[in-house]
């Protein structure tokens, strides 16, 4: 029996096109496997720590320390990039590290429960360190396959696939933990989830095998340190953007790590209800990511950041209004809608604001700035938990939520709003895009655009 093999590409351009297509497919498949890992693993790390009686300070460290160590791994990654024969090999070792890290994350806290929360922090540091180690090479590889005006659509599609995968993983994870808790085997539920997380991340290694790495076409810059790069190799707009991004991460993380405490301990939600609340944000991302990608490609990432950063400031304030579970789910769905655009704008602005040869270094610098803000925000949030009172009296008005956490969420939102109003004007769009007034841009936002079209459509007048 004769086996027919596909013909080899006959020219350099065909080989390059084949390599680009394999890399694009890998980027999408890798996103699916990564989302499965996030939905079954990352999203339940804090809940696992709570099962082992983690304190708010330990939860803040679980959020902050792995990110800080991860950014150090990015610097190391850029410095040792020449050790690897190609970017594909560089990415492979980072993914392998992520997959293996789930073994100590699960095993060590169960073997030594008295040190459980601290061992989870150490295991998470290994996991996120491996994630960040692969990030510069992954970013350089994928962005070289895309033109500037298609990145928004591609990454939106990738994020959409990640959103639906993450939604399924989160929902099933919540159901699994609820069943395990009902039968008194909660630790077994976490064991199964983290096992699935490690296996799912390992599938990316097999997907990567089909990728043909492209040679780097752009001229590499002269070797220089990160401080020199930041001071002389970047624009003033980029440096001001970094300040905005880092401080926004600080404001967001004042509240971010402590929603799990509010949901599971203060409101006593089941794991199923908590998983559904978390999954609502992913649904919001899924339905709006294509629209955000088109908005980014047409009108630029600065316009995208302007709208989403103002909207994201309002969301945490709403937790003071009600504790009804459907209302909480609606808030988190809205959060997913807004965060889908904000995250896309923050990442794509970095790609557009520097030269192709500097993208890996720029990603490492941006990640470091964000991680510093991340760490400062979580530590400030844990301090506020021990400082902010549990009720507020303003004359005859008395506000007494179930704990002081809604007040901390409100403070986070107020700081986000202050930063957005004061810093958004300090930097500009780095590429040429369509120009529209703010009112016209508002009508182009996802979810608003189809409603605006429907509202502005004139009814047909019958012929007389």
Q: Taking a C-beta distance cutoff of 8 angstroms, is the pair 308, 342 a contact?
A: yes
Strand, coil or helix: 419 = helix
* Nearest residue to 349 via CA among 215, 254, 235: 235
Supply the pLDDT for residue 406. 94
Question: Where are the domains positioned within the chain?
Answer: 16-212+228-455
15, burial (CB in 10 Å: exposed 0-12, middle 13-18, buried 19+): middle
d(CA 423, CA 302): 12
Q: Which residues pair with 281 in a beta bridge?
A: none
Q: Taking a C-beta distance cutoff of 8 angstroms, is the pair 427, 293 a contact?
A: no
Supply the pLDDT for residue 457. 54
Per-residue pLDDT of the chain (464 residues; tens, 9 = 90+): 444 444 555 555 665 566 567 767 777 888 898 899 988 988 899 889 988 888 888 888 888 888 788 777 877 887 787 787 777 788 888 889 999 999 999 888 888 888 988 999 999 989 988 888 888 788 777 777 676 666 667 777 887 788 889 888 988 988 899 999 888 888 899 999 999 999 998 888 877 776 666 555 544 444 456 666 666 667 888 889 999 999 999 999 999 889 989 999 899 999 889 888 988 988 888 888 788 888 888 888 888 898 899 999 999 999 999 999 999 999 999 998 898 889 888 988 888 888 777 777 787 788 888 888 988 999 899 899 989 988 887 777 788 889 999 999 999 999 999 999 999 989 888 888 777 777 777 776 776 765 555 455 544 444 43
* Nearest residue to 358 via CA among 212, 243, 236, 225: 225
* Nearest residue to 362 via CA among 377, 375, 372, 347: 347
d(CA 54, CA 328): 24
Correct CATH for 16-212+228-455 of 3.40.630.20, 1.10.760.10, 3.30.420.40, 1.20.1250.20: 1.20.1250.20
Q: Taking a C-beta distance cutoff of 8 angstroms, is the pair 420, 310 a contact?
A: yes
d(CA 308, CA 310): 5
Max CA-CA distance within the chain?
Answer: 89
Strand, coil or helix: 399 = strand
d(CA 396, CA 415): 27
CB 251: neighbour CB atoms within 10 A? 27
Torsion of Cα atoms, 35 then 155 then 351 then 241, to 10°: -70
d(CA 39, CA 33): 10
Structure-token match 């937790």, residue found: 319
Supply the pLDDT for residue 416. 95
Supply the pLDDT for residue 154. 79
**CB-side exposure of 40: number of CA atoms within 13 Å?**
26
Q: Measuring CA to CA, how many Å separate 60 from each of 112, 126, 129, 244, 288?
A: 21, 17, 17, 22, 30
Supply the pLDDT for residue 215. 57
Supply the pLDDT for residue 222. 44
CB 9: neighbour CB atoms within 10 A? 14
d(CA 75, CA 72): 5
DSSP-derived secondary structure letter, 397: E
d(CA 92, CA 96): 6
d(CA 351, CA 374): 21
Supply the pLDDT for residue 254. 93
Q: Where are the beta strands (DSSP E) in 305-439?
A: 392-394, 397-399
End-to-end, the C-alpha distance of the chain in Å comes to 73
């Amino acid at each position: 029996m004769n086996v027919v093999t596909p013909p080899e590409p006959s020219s350099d351009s065909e080989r390059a096109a084949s390599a680009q297509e394999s890399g694009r497919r890998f980027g999408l498949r890798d996103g699916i496997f990564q989302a499965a890992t996030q939905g079954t693993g990352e999203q339940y790390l804090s809940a696992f720590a709570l099962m082992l009686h983690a304190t708010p300070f330990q939860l803040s460290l679980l959020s902050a320390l792995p990110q800080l160590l991860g950014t150090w791994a990015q610097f190391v990654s850029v410095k040792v990039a020449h050790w690897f024969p190609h970017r594909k090999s560089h990415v492979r070792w980072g993914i392998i590290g992520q997959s293996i890290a789930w073994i100590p994350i699960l095993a060590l806290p169960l073997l030594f429960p008295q040190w459980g929360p601290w061992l989870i922090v150490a295991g998470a540091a290994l996991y996120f360190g491996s994630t960040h180690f692969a990030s510069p090479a992954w970013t350089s590889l994928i962005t070289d396959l895309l033109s500037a005006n298609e990145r928004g659509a591609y990454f939106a599609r990738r994020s959409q696939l990640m959103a639906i995968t993450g939604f399924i993983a989160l929902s099933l994870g919540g159901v699994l933990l609820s069943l395990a808790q009902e039968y008194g085997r909660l630790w077994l539920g976490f064991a199964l989830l983290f096992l699935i997380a490690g296996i799912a991340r390992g599938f990316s290694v097999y997907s990567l095998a089909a990728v043909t790495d492209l040679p780097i076409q752009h001229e590499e810059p002269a070797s220089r340190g990160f401080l020199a790069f930041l001071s002389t190799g970047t624009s003033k707009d980029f440096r001001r953007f970094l300040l905005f991004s880092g401080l926004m991460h600080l404001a967001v993380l004042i509240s971010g790590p402590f929603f799990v405490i509010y949901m599971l301990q203060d409101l006593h939600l089941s794991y199923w209800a908590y998983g559904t609340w978390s999954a609502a944000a992913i649904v919001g991302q899924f339905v709006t990511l294509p629209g955000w990608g088109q908005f980014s490609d047409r009108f630029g990432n600065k316009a995208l950041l302007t709208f989403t950063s103002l909207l994201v400031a309002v969301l945490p304030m709403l937790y003071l209004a009600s504790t009804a579970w459907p209302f909480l789910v609606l808030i988190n769905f809205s959060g997913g809608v807004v965060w889908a655009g904000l995250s896309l704008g923050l990442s794509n602005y970095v790609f557009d604001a520097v030269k192709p040869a500097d993208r890996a270094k720029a990603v490492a610098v941006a990640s470091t700035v964000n991680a510093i803000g991340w760490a400062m925000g979580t530590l400030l949030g844990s301090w506020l938990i021990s400082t902010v009172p549990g009720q507020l009296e303003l004359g005859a008005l008395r506000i007494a939520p179930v704990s002081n956490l809604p007040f901390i969420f409100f403070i986070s939102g107020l700081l986000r709003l202050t930063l957005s109003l004061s810093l958004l004007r300090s930097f500009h769009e780095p590429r040429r895009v369509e120009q529209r007034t703010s009112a016209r841009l508002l009508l182009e936002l996802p979810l608003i655009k189809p409603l605006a079209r429907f509202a502005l459509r004139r009814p047909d007048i019958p012929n007389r």
